[in-house]
Structure 1
Amino acid sequence: MKIKRGEIEGSLGQYIGNLATRGVLALALSLPYARRVRAMGWFMSRVFAPLAGYDKRVRDNLAHVMPDLPEAEVKRLMRDVADNAGRTLIEIYSGSEFIAKMKDIRFDGPGAEILREARDARRPVILHTGHFGNYDVPRAALIAHGYDVGSLYNPMKNKFFNEHYVKAIGTIGQPLFPRGRRGYAQLLKHLKSGGMIGFLSDVYVHQGAMLTYFGKPVRTALSAAELALKYDALLIPIYGVRLEDGLHFKVQVEAPVPHGTAEEMAQALNDSLEAITRDHMEQWFWIHRRWKPERLPPETKLSPEPDEEQL
């Protein structure tokens, strides 16, 4: 088998990038919990994000959906969105210290009691969230409170980073199902047995339905809605909302999305995420290329690409 030069260079770049990331994580983890979370937020917003071009992505996305947003608010979000992302990353890697904070977390919202009833009755539930607040808080908090929650995840493109990232999210709770035929089969088995499964799908999906998010056309996966219809499962939006101190959370559980067409249900999920994002603008990951390629000029042609998270 012939190995292309580009593949070697790509793997080398991933390896070096992973080494740098591991070094930063190790340094942060040597600090006490509160200091490490704040430090990682500072590092991501003041050092990494500007170098990686994340500031520009935040600005471009905001200009696309909210062109009249004041410049001062745009600049604040360029900083605070990256700060939240850095905090989220190191929290996920903090293992037992992070898990310990989930035991006393509060569940708010109209769906909280419905979710408890579904747990006790072993009714299938599909939990849906986005890259908002800390997206692993709902799963960690539910598991800490005796909920049987499995989650579907997308392996990272950097295979070296993916190895320890999957280990980190696996420490928070099991089971985890990698996206793919085998993982999907395991996920369905868990759901049909009366378990709960989590989806995080606010990313561009090449074959997704054309719906709207923040009033703009956006490709959206229908899989969560389709599974809810097929298995008569509750479809419940849920969010880990970061509190004002930047260190603690509440879990916001919305009312189940009424069953209808898959497109109607998926749009309701988009609307739910938009609503909570408008309340906490800095907590959604505006760094995502969420609206591509619909933002490009009509004459622009793109080659097909796999459905995956684009970070």
Structure 2
Amino acid sequence: MSDRSNSDDFHAHPAGKASDFLTNALIVGLIRLALALPYAARIRFVGWMVQKVVGPVAGYRARALDNLELVWPDMPKAERALIANRCLNNVGRTLIENYSARDFPQKMAKNVPQGPGVAALEEATAQGRPVILVTGHFGNYEATRAALVARGYDIGGLYRDMKNPYFNAHYVKTMEAFGGPVFPQGRKGTAGFVRHLKAGGQLVLLFDQHVYAAPVLDFMGLPARTAVSAAELALRYDALLIPFYGIRQPDGLSFECVLEAPIPPSDPETMTQALSDSLSARIKDKPEQWFWVHRRWRGDEV
């Protein structure tokens, strides 16, 4: 079954460099080709393409290997290479799943979220209390949001604009397609994000990318600048702070959606460190599912 629901957005024309335009054109071509395939074939195809072609050419494989060596210098090179390859495959699968704006939500609608955070979310929603759901670039971070939206939750999100404006213009549409409002980082986006939260809504945040001047916390045994905004918002608006994960299963197509127990309120850095510890445990268990391609550690942590 093909899924073309975002095709009209591929030709948005924001201002950008010629190299950005070319890169976006190549990505759009890959996405269009993939969306013409049956669902399972499309997921496997883009996973393979990012692992074998896009990732190595774009330098993502090299960056993943550098990060893996930084975190696990004693791990055999062959094992780090295997994790990097599987990481790229997961990145590709995640990309095309998020562009499958009809098929992917339909599949996730059959998924029943698990974990102690489910009951906490249900109780908070019944009371009109806001909830902040926090995760990292692990598995597919949209899988659980799609599963919850299918159960009637109005879950919004705050996103960071991609550096490539051509790609960003249509990628934002993929987040909107899963239901719930999405807000860009910045004054205007944050204002909308806060209004949704104050009204008792649920919001998703990803916290595992480097943020300049953010506090230095432990992540995977190394110092890493980490945004504490999710915890700050939770404290300010008496919102539950729930770690969650969409964990890819061995078939490469299905997911286990897990909501962990809420983080106890204390102070922003302590709460964020608890989030980092939660994500670190997930990565150690399934390292191939984290996006090692990001520049998480940049040498300015000391």
Compute the TM-score of the two structures, normalised by the length of structure 2.
Answer: 0.93
Question: Structure 2 residue aligned with 1:50, among 39, 50, 56?
Answer: 56
Name the residue aligned to 2:160.
154
Q: What CA distance in whole angstroms lies between the structure 2 residues aligned with 1:220 and 1:135?
A: 18
Q: What CA distance in whole angstroms lies between the structure 1 residues aligned with 2:84 and 2:182?
A: 32
CA-to-aligned-CA distance 1:1-55 (integer Å, 9 cap, x gap): xxxxxxxx96111111111110011011111000000010000001111111112
Q: What CA distance in whole angstroms lies between the structure 1 residues aligned with 2:186 and 2:297?
A: 24
Question: Structure 2 residue aligned with 1:166, among 172, 184, 187?
Answer: 172
Question: Structure 2 residue aligned with 1:23, among 25, 29, 36?
Answer: 29
Q: Is the 8 A contact 2:16 2:166 kept in 1?
A: no
Which 5+ residue runs of structure 2 have no aligned equivalent? 1-14
CA-to-aligned-CA distance 1:196-225 (integer Å, 9 cap, x gap): 111112000002101110110000001001
SS in 2 for 1:151: strand
CA-to-aligned-CA distance 1:219-254 (integer Å, 9 cap, x gap): 000100101111111100011111110001121111
Q: Which runs of 4+ in 1 moved over 6 A?
A: none
Which 5+ residue runs of structure 1 have no aligned equivalent? 1-8, 299-311
Q: Could you tell me which amino acid in structure 2 is paired with residue 143 of structure 1?
A: V
SS in 2 for 1:111: helix
Name the residue aligned to 2:275.
269
Name the residue aligned to 2:85.
79
Q: Is the 8 A contact 1:126 1:235 kept in 2?
A: yes
SS in 2 for 1:225: helix
Q: What CA distance in whole angstroms lies between the structure 1 residues aligned with 2:162 and 2:58?
A: 17
Name the residue aligned to 1:243.
249
Compute the TM-score of the two structures, normalised by the length of structure 1.
Answer: 0.90
Q: What CA distance in whole angstroms lies between the structure 2 residues aligned with 1:165 and 1:58?
A: 23
Q: Could you tell me which amino acid in structure 1 is paired with residue 30 of structure 2?
A: V
Question: Structure 2 residue aligned with 1:69, among 75, 79, 83?
Answer: 75
Aligned residues: 288
**Sequence identity percentage:** 50
CA-to-aligned-CA distance 1:154-203 (integer Å, 9 cap, x gap): 11111111111111221122211111111101111111111011111200
Alignment of 1:206-221 (within 5 A): 206-221=212-227
Q: Could you tell me which amino acid in structure 1 is paired with residue 159 of structure 2?
A: Y
